[in-house]
Amino acid sequence: MNWKKIVAGVFACGLMMGTVSAQQPAAAEYQNMLQQDFVLSYGYEGKTEKVRITGDAGKRMTAILQENLWYPKVLGTNDKIYQFYIEKVTKAKVLPLNMLGSDKLSPDEKWTEKKDRLALPEELAVLAWQDKWTSHPQSLGAPAFSGSSKRQVGSDEYDCDQYICDIRNQAGGVSGQLAYNLLYKDGKLVKAQKYLLYKGKQQLLSTLDIMEFKAGVDEGAISKLNDVKVYKAELGDINDLLDNPVEEGTMGGALNAQK
C-alpha cells in the first residue's frame, strides 16, 4: 500500500474541492520573475517582522520594515556579502563569499546567518528550487506539482496550487511530506501555507502573507545605499583588538559596491 499517495489524496480531498491539473496562469510569470528583477515583501502570521527581498540574477538584497521605511540588512553579489548596521548613519561590513565558514571570522558578526537572510521564504522556494541564495535540507526532496483547486481559508476563497516535497529518512525511505499551498486571489499570489503530512494527518506549520510581489527593482531601499562606508569583516587581527575597523570603500546608490 502506498501510504504517501493516500496521505496526499486525503489532504487534497479534505481541504480542497474541484481539483484541476494545470497550474495558475500567473505561476510561470512568478517563476520567471524570480530569475530576473523582482521585489517581494512579506510577513508571517503571528510575527511582527516584515521583510522585503529584491534582486536580479546576480544580486540579492534583504530589507526590514521599520517605522514605515525599508532599511537594508544584507546584500549579496556574485562574490561578496554585505551586512548593514547603524552608527548614527548606515554603515556596512563586507566579506568575500569564499570566506564564509572560515574559523577566522568573528562569531559576533554571524555571517552565515546573514547569508541565510537572502534566501527566498521556504513557502515560495517551490517556484525557484535552484535559487542560488536558497538552500534546502538534504532530507527534503524537490517539489512536485500536485494539482490546482479552490481553497477556503476563513471567509475567503482562493485558487490554490499545491506542491509536495518528500521528507526522506536516513535509509532513503519517505517518512512524511511537506505540502505547500500557494493561494491566488484575482490572479495574484497573496498567501502561501506550509503543511506537514504524516501518518494520515496534516498540520498547518506556517502562513505567509504576501504584501507585494512584482517585477522590477526596489528603488526605495536601494536609495539608502548612497555614500555608505564599507568596512572589512572582523578577522581577529590587531585592528579588531584596537576596535579600528579597516575601511574597504564606499557604496554608491545602486546594488553594487564602489571602491
Q: What is the pLDDT of residue 2?
A: 46
Alpha carbon distance 239, 31 (integer Å): 45
Q: What is the pLDDT of residue 44?
A: 98
pTM: 0.85
Share of the chain residues as helix, strand and coil, in percent rounded to the nearest 5: 20, 45, 35
- DSSP label of 72: E
φ, ψ of residue 20 in degrees (nearest 5): -125, 170
Domain boundaries, the chain: 3-215
- DSSP label of 126: G
Its CATH class, for the domain covering 3-215, is mainly beta
Predicted confidence band of residue 8 (pLDDT cuts 50, 70, 90): very low
Rg (the chain; Cα; Å): 21
DSSP string, 138-178: TTBPPPEEEEEEEEEETTEEEEEEEEEEEEE-TTS-EEEEE
Whether residue 221 is predicted with pLDDT greater than 60 in this model: the reply is: yes
Burial class (CB in 10 A: 0-12, 13-18, 19+), 145: middle
Predicted confidence band of residue 252 (pLDDT cuts 50, 70, 90): confident
